[in-house]
Structure formats: C-alpha cells, structure tokens
Amino acid sequence: MNPATALALVLADELDRCGVRDLVLAPGSRSAPLAQAFRALSRGPDQPPRLHVHVDERAAGFMALGIARVTARPVVTLCTSGTAVANLHPAVLEAHHARLPLIVLTADRPPELRDTGASQTTDQIKIYGSAVRLFAEVGTPEIRADSNAYWRSLACQAVAAAASGPVHLNLALREPLTFDPPENWPQVFPGRPGRLPWVHTGDRPAGASSPVGPDTPEVAFPGAARGVVVVGDGPADSAAAVALAEGMGWPLLAEPQSNARYGSSAISCYTHLMAHPATRSLLQPEEIVCVGRPGLSRQLLALLRSGVPLTVVDAHLPWADPSRSASRRLRCVPRPVRRRPDPAWLGLWTAADRVAGAALDRALDASPLTEPRLARDLLAALPDDAVCVLGSSMPIRDVEATMRARRGPRLVANRGLAGIDGTVSTAVGAALAHRAAGGGRAFALLGDLTLLHDLTGLVGVSRREHPDLTIIVVNNRGGGIFSLVDSTRNADAFEELFGTPHTVAIEHLAIATGWRYALASGAADLPGLLRLPGPAIIEVRTERAANVGLRRSLDAAVADALDDWIVRVGHRPASTDPPPALP
C-alpha cells in the first residue's frame, strides 16, 4: 500500500468516527486517493457519510456551507492543488465570519516540486490566512510506526476546531497516487475499538455549538422591566432567546434567518416601528439583550447604538458587537429573571406592531406581485417542514420587513459576509441536507444577479442527487439594491456603474441546465407554481424604478397609520397604561 493511500484511508475512517456525515469534493488528480477513499467510505454499512461531487470548487465550497447551516455538523470539502484551492477561499471566508464547521482538505505537491515551476503548483501554506481556526501542513505521508496515531489525532483536532469555524489541512502527496488498499488495512492502521474517535473531545456531537439553554447555569443580569431581545444571524439556540423574551415579557425582534421570529413576544414590523420617530421614542427600552449577529437593517443597528445598556450573548471570540455598544458579554442565553412581567410593555409593542402590519398589508394587497409582496406571500405560503434560502441583497431585507411571525420553515442565509456569491450552491446543499434529515421541500428567494453569480450551482446538480429545490428569482434586470442606497442611487452613470442591466433570459438558463421553468405573472400564480417539483426556477419580473416608488409608498402608509395611533396613545408611561386599543 502506498503512503498516499494509507493517509487517505486513515483520514476518511477517522473523520467518519468523529461524526462527519457529509463529504463534498471537486474532481482532481492530486486529490484522487482521498476522493476514492471517501467514495469507498460512503458505500459502507451502518449509515455511512454522504458523498457529493461538484465540478466547480467554488460552488462545492458553498454547497458544503449549505449543508453545514442545516445540519450544524462539520462538512469536509476536498480539492486538488493550484487554483482549485483559491476557488474555495470565498466559502472559507463565509464560514469564518458565520462560524460554520467547514473542514477543507487541499491536495498539494510534495516539497521537492514547489518553487520549481511545476505545473499546478503554488504556495498553499496558510493560504486562507487568519480565516481558519486551525491550519496544518500535514506533511508528505510516510508509513511509519507513529503515522496512524498522527493522522488520526490530527483528524480529531480538525473536527474539534471546526466547531467554531473553518479548518484547513494541506496534504502534500507524492506519486504514486493510485488507490490500492489491501483487504487487511484496518488491522495495519487500527482505530479505537467500538468505532470510537481517536481522541474524545467532549459529550456534545461533533461540530455542535456551545451549550445554550435550559441545561446551562442561570446567569444573573439586571432584567429591567422594559427590555427587548434582539436575535441576529446564527444564534446557537434560537429557542432559548424566544424563551428569554417570553419569560421576561419583553418584545422579541428577530431577523428572519435567526429562525426565532415566533411566539407570543415576536414583533414582525420592528423596522417600521424603529423608523417612525414618535413610535421609536415611545418604545425606547431600558435594556437590550442581543443574541447572534444582527446587521440587516439600519433601524435595528441604531437601536443597539442608542445608549441603552446592551448585553451580547456569544460563546465565540471575537464576540458579535457591530455597534461597539455592549456593556456586557455572556457566553450563553440567560434564563428569565423570576419576577412578574409587565404586560403593558409588551402590549404596547404588540399594538404598534399590529397597526404597522395592518397598514403594510393593505398597501401590499393593493399592489401587483412586487418584490416586497412576493417576500411576504412566499414566507406565508411555505410549508412548515420546508427550508428556504434567502439571497443576501434585497430578498432577505424584504423578508425582514414583511414576514409575519410564524414557526415552521427553516430560513437560511449567507450573512457571515453577506455576499451574493455561491448562493445557488448553498441552496442546493441546504436542500440535500434537509431532505437527508427527513425534512420537506426546499426553496430559495434570490435576485437575478445572485443567480448569475453562481450559474455553476445550477450546472452542478447531478441526476443522482436531484434536489427538490425551487428557486424563485426576482428579475429586475440589474442591481436593484443600488437604487435604494444613498451613495449610489443619485450617482452619475448609475446604470453603467451600479444598475448593470443585463439581457440574460432566465428561461433559457433553466432549459440549458435541465431545470424546470415557470413565469409568475401575478400574485395569484404563486401558490400553484410553488407546487412545481424541483429542481425548478420560477421567475418574477419586476421594475427597479417602480419598486423604489412602492417601498416609499409602503413606508408612508405605515407612518401615517402610526401617526394616528400615536395621537390616540400619547406619550404617557407605558408601564402604567393599559395596552392601546387597535383601530
């Protein structure tokens, strides 16, 4: 057995023992022994890991992230040397900022071929810089007495380190690269008895986040009468945040991808409430607890900067505090303080939320299938057992502004760096992982430029895996978000520099890549089209200029309704007033 085969077999076996359930690889010659070891492992007995193959390394990386977001378990990505390694960099950066468990295995040339002009050879040592939690130059494999312990121990370290972000193992492989495992290799390179990992690193599942919730010690904190709980991206335990808000009688302001916008404390229209000066003043809290990484709306970030005592909950370093306003950091969500909540405080928020929501619905119901209406109607129509990936440009912002509180669909978004790259591949990975876990159908709400940034995500869908994924594409033929950004919307040569109009026919893309296609002409079409089996693309055509006008009219309609409500409520202390009557 050659050393490359030995290393491949041992790493594959130990990663399996450590709980890795998904392996994503892109084809390559230098990485061939590992690819074949992974394939052999995936065909073994007793629930073997799932093997996913993608033709493009960049898309493979984002597919792995989609799987990691849904499963919260470490996902291995394998590639060959050279530019293949660089193409994984965007996914590594997203995993770094979103703290996703990604283990990157990169094949490399042995030291004697480096810096010689050898083909497909570049400096891969620490190529991802400080974005990885652990880097190891594994070294050219040799069959020695201590090799088995070294390789197995390193695999355990990689899985443990990936609990808080990406890990990179660089594997320098010498020829021969043929895969030639003898039948007795497990006896030559044995693992621990009972299929246990080489190193036991704790009782939690591999890749699980730090413990949060009922099993954690109670953490004392001031617990003001008028507080709010804010939940952003990637909370370790959204249910604990919901329980805190309900136990304290505080409103819950949860970004959609936090999957915490549900329960009796959930407020749906917080961006509109915080954008209305009189309402914002009336609803000013005395304390804020922030779980996860917020960053979708200026209104929510402004609330965090308002000078109110802020506690951030984050088990990781550096902790998430984008406003630099935190006065306290906790590693886990605190339990509610044992006291009687103030019903008037939550009642005031709930009443304002209903006023804003009713005004928003009236305006949206009177509109055609616009981008905000699509976001609202789609999130209302999703089955409870669905997963839905949201594009990081306008789709997730429209969902934040219009989605009503509900529990059921799992929402996913790449908000680590909030980029649009690789979103189709993320959706494919999320769909595959969701189905493997016994979940229902998968959906994605993307903009047209987000789709065009990841066309290989469409191409990489294989007949073998065939995800039941329906992508709803908002096609406004360009960068719609730039029409709403102060620094770009009034710029000279807007269309040339920011609008970037295109003439791509989405229907032709779908046909060329083997996806079903349908055009939604109006709001009434959407429910029926969502039943279209995947992989499928539903196109919704909108106009950028009209959407700008619509969003302004929505803001004005909500503001007028809140103006009327404020007149009735007045600015009396909320703690002594009964909840205001609804109009």
Quick check: is 25 in a domain? yes
Quick check: is 203 in a domain? no
pLDDT over 50 (residue 543): yes
* DSSP codes joined into one string, 111-137: GGGTTTT-TT----TTTTGGG-SEEEE
* pLDDT value of residue 325: 83
Quick check: is 562 in a domain? yes
Q: What is the CATH classification number for the domain harbouring 35? A: 3.40.50.970
* pLDDT value of residue 235: 83
* pLDDT value of residue 13: 95
Same domain, 398 and 446: yes
* pLDDT value of residue 338: 65
Share of the chain above pLDDT 70, in %: 93
Quick check: is 110 in a domain? yes
pLDDT over 60 (residue 215): no
pLDDT tens digits along 61-72: 999 999 999 999
Quick check: is 377 in a domain? yes
Same domain, 239 and 169: no
Same domain, 420 and 534: yes
Same domain, 184 and 38: yes
Same domain, 145 and 256: no
* pLDDT value of residue 208: 37
Which domain covers residue 391, as residue numbers? 371-541
Categorize the per-residue pLDDT at 577 as very low, low, confident or very high, splitting at 50, 70 and 90: very low
pLDDT tens digits along 287-338: 999 999 998 999 999 999 998 999 999 888 788 888 878 888 888 898 887 6
Same domain, 103 and 60: yes
* pLDDT value of residue 207: 36
* pLDDT value of residue 222: 58
pLDDT over 90 (residue 512): yes
Quick check: is 567 in a domain? yes
Same domain, 148 and 7: yes
CB 290 within 8 A of CB 304: yes
* pLDDT value of residue 477: 84
Residue ending a domain, among 145, 167, 195, is 195
Quick check: is 419 in a domain? yes
Higher model confidence: residue 45 or residue 301? 301
Q: What is the CATH classification number for the domain harbouring 239? A: 3.40.50.1220
Same domain, 351 and 494: no
Residue ending a domain, among 195, 229, 256, is 195
CA atoms within 13 A on the CB side of 53: 12
Domain count, the chain: 3
* pLDDT value of residue 220: 55
| Residue closest to 513 by CA, chosen among 424, 423, 419, 388 | 424
Same domain, 356 and 381: no
Same domain, 241 and 324: yes
* pLDDT value of residue 571: 56
pLDDT tens digits along 369-412: 999 999 999 999 999 999 999 999 899 999 999 999 999 999 99
* pLDDT value of residue 334: 86
Same domain, 393 and 416: yes
Average pLDDT value for residue range 93-122: 91
Quick check: is 202 in a domain? no
Across 279-325, the runs of DSSP E, i.e. the strands, are 287-291, 310-313
Same domain, 304 and 376: no
The 8 Å CB, 24+ separation contacts for 131-134 are: 131/92, 131/93, 131/95, 131/96, 131/165, 131/166, 132/92, 132/96, 132/104, 132/165, 132/166, 132/167, 132/168, 133/161, 133/162, 133/164, 133/165, 133/166, 133/167, 134/158, 134/161, 134/162, 134/167, 134/168
Q: Return the structure tokens found at 252.
A: 């819950």
Range from 193-202, 461-470, 507-516 carrying the lowest mean pLDDT = 461-470
pLDDT tens digits along 169-181: 999 999 998 898 8
pLDDT over 60 (residue 579): no
Residue ending a domain, among 169, 195, 221, is 195
Mean pLDDT rounded to a whole number for the chain:
88
| Residue closest to 144 by CA, chosen among 341, 237, 7 | 7
